[in-house]
Structure 1
Amino acid sequence: MAQTENEAPYFTLDDGVFVPGEQARGWWAPGTVHGRLLAGLAARALEREHGAEGMHVARLTVDLFRSAPLAPVRVRTERVRDGRRIRVADAVVLGAGTDGAGEPLARVSAVLLRTSTPPPGYIPATGPWDAPPPDELPPSHTARTFWRFDEELRPVREWRGDQRRRAWLRESRPLVAGESVSPLVRVTLAADSASPMAHASDEGLRYINADFTLTLSRLPLSDAIGLEATAHTAEDGIAVGHCALYDTAGPIGYCVTTAVANDVR
């Protein structure tokens, strides 16, 4: 995959305010910011303000409870718990507002755990992915019928019928102008795609993501993130789904998503 870091960023940072560009526009409704980008901004803030050497972000829960206008936003964080082996921190993405105190648009909670020596013994675990490396696969155009995105997507095979939905995603733009995308932010941006991976039908995507929870045993080592849809159930317009996440070295974690039926406007 060709690197495209010189593409226009999603946001520029101006005195603590993130100003979205046109490329940050969401898919479900005109004049909105894509929810995955709010999750990325929150992950960025949590990592910068609460990360520490020896502390690993093991869980990130993202609540996308309000459509965000295509307008500037701020991120506010708070440390909730700070123990010897566990740290909990929350972030809220706010509309910038004229007085700097706009309404909440998304909420993200992070659990950081202290790394240590693994205990002895054998535990059955998720094995390596049998998917070809991303650079051996062509980019997809057919899969774009499921949802609009700015990541470069390379399906292991085109999604038809009951075939396993597996794909590599790579971010094509910087999240914030002048900054590289960290491994945590990269996997957070990719994890939002667990919803369309799990919930899209042969007629397209008609479930809008309400939240997702990302669990990570380690951060990705590659800039390509692999997703495999492993579960979907739905009833009365409510869907829950699950994806396994990989990098080019092997499994890194999972993403669980909830979604509600919604028509494209």
Structure 2
Amino acid sequence: MINCLYRRLGADGDYAVFESTDGTRSNWDPNIQHGSPPLALLTRAIEDLAQGSGLRIGRLTLDILGAIPVTTVRVRAWVERPGSRISLMAAEMLVDRPDGTRRAVARVTAWLLAPSDTADAVVDRYPPLIEGEAVTGAAHAWQNARGYLETVSWRRQPDDNGSSAAVAWMSPLVPLIDSEPTTALQRLAMVVDSANGIGAALDPQRFLFMNTDTVVHLHRLPDGQDFGVRARGSIGPEGVGATTAELFDRRGFIGTSAQTLLVQRLG
């Protein structure tokens, strides 16, 4: 039974050490991790580092630097560009090579901004997204995949008024680390990398379309544990694609995400 994505093993110098559970396994390949768990774990490292700074995260960028094995990982965070109003922070995930050296497999950078009172100037680009009855049938194209997809509730919604967008509401079903509290931003990170699957423009039985990154812009921090993702995929003529999405919580529109896709024909 999967009851968390990572288990804390302690520390190794500046690095926190975690065991990756079966809940991190990708729907593309069970030997590697889905992008959402590393994004969430590195986001947590940045949130921990930012405590007491008075700044809040406005943008997160995950770069997947190589296949991330389901194994013991080491995570650290640092301040890349200090500032009292604007700061850039980063976190990285390392794994051991067979020869005992280590390689970075994922990195998250985050812009943090000083908050101020703009409640009287709020503008949301989109109206709130209301969850309806989930469509019958398969919620996604990887119904029998084990691992990460077992750790989220995925409720696909009817077509978005005939547009090219696909909509799903998602909720994490397990904590990020052991039984430790998980913030709303970490919960969003635990599902947002799935925008690629929600807005799939291709049949995954015929094509691989894995993302190399996930970039999230947030004009408002998320709230709760349920997130609506309205996603669209575009595929170019040379094996490169992109997925863009609008992100919502129960209160309304919170931001956007974008992903670059490697597209390859299977078989």
- TM-score w.r.t. the length of structure 1 is 0.85
Percent sequence identity over matched residues?
26
Name the counterpart of 1:75: 75
Name the counterpart of 2:231: 229
Name the counterpart of 1:38: 38
Q: 1:7, 1:172 within 8 Å by CA — same for their partners in 2?
A: no
CA distance in 1, matches of 2:182, 2:266: 30
The 1:175/1:145 distance shift into structure 2, 3 A limit, reads same
CA distance in 1, matches of 2:264, 2:172: 26
- The structural deviation recorded for 1:230 is 4.5
User: Among 113, 134, 139, which residue is 1:143 paired with?
Assistant: 139
- TM-score w.r.t. the length of structure 2 is 0.84
Q: Quick check: 1:249 aligned with 2:248? A: no
Name the counterpart of 1:175: 176
Unaligned runs of 5+ in 2: 12-16
1:71-119 Cα offsets, whole Å, 9 max, x none, are 1001121101121211111111101569996210001101100101229
Query: How many residues are treated as equivalent by the alignment?
Result: 256
The 1:139/1:119 distance shift into structure 2, 3 A limit, reads closer
- Give 2:30's aligned amino acid: P
Name the counterpart of 1:3: none
CA distance in 2, matches of 1:99, 1:31: 19
**What does 1:73-222 correspond to in 2, within 5 Å?**
73-96=73-96, 102-118=102-118, 125-132=124-131, 137-138=133-134, 141-145=137-141, 148=145, 149-150=149-150, 151-157=152-158, 164-202=165-203, 206-222=208-224
Q: 1:7, 1:174 within 8 Å by CA — same for their partners in 2?
A: no
- Give 1:85's aligned amino acid: R
CA distance in 2, matches of 1:214, 1:54: 20
**Structure 1 stretch 34-43 or stretch 110-119: which is displaced more?**
110-119
Name the counterpart of 2:14: none
- The structural deviation recorded for 1:8 is 1.2
1:187-210 Cα offsets, whole Å, 9 max, x none, are 112210121223342555621011
CA distance in 2, matches of 1:100, 1:26: 25
Unaligned runs of 5+ in 1: 1-5
- The structural deviation recorded for 1:28 is 2.0
The 1:42/1:152 distance shift into structure 2, 3 A limit, reads same
User: Among 3, 22, 26, which residue is 1:8 paired with?
Assistant: 3
1:108-141 Cα offsets, whole Å, 9 max, x none, are 1011001012297686x41323433xxx534865
- The structural deviation recorded for 1:23 is 2.5
- The structural deviation recorded for 1:264 is 6.7
CA distance in 2, matches of 1:86, 1:28: 37
CA distance in 2, matches of 1:128, 1:54: 29
CA distance in 2, matches of 1:201, 1:10: 28
**Structure 1 stretch 218-227 or stretch 146-155: which is displaced more?**
146-155
- Give 2:263's aligned amino acid: A
Structural RMSD (CA): 2.9
CA distance in 2, matches of 1:163, 1:237: 20
Q: 2:130, 2:250 within 8 Å by CA — same for their partners in 1?
A: no
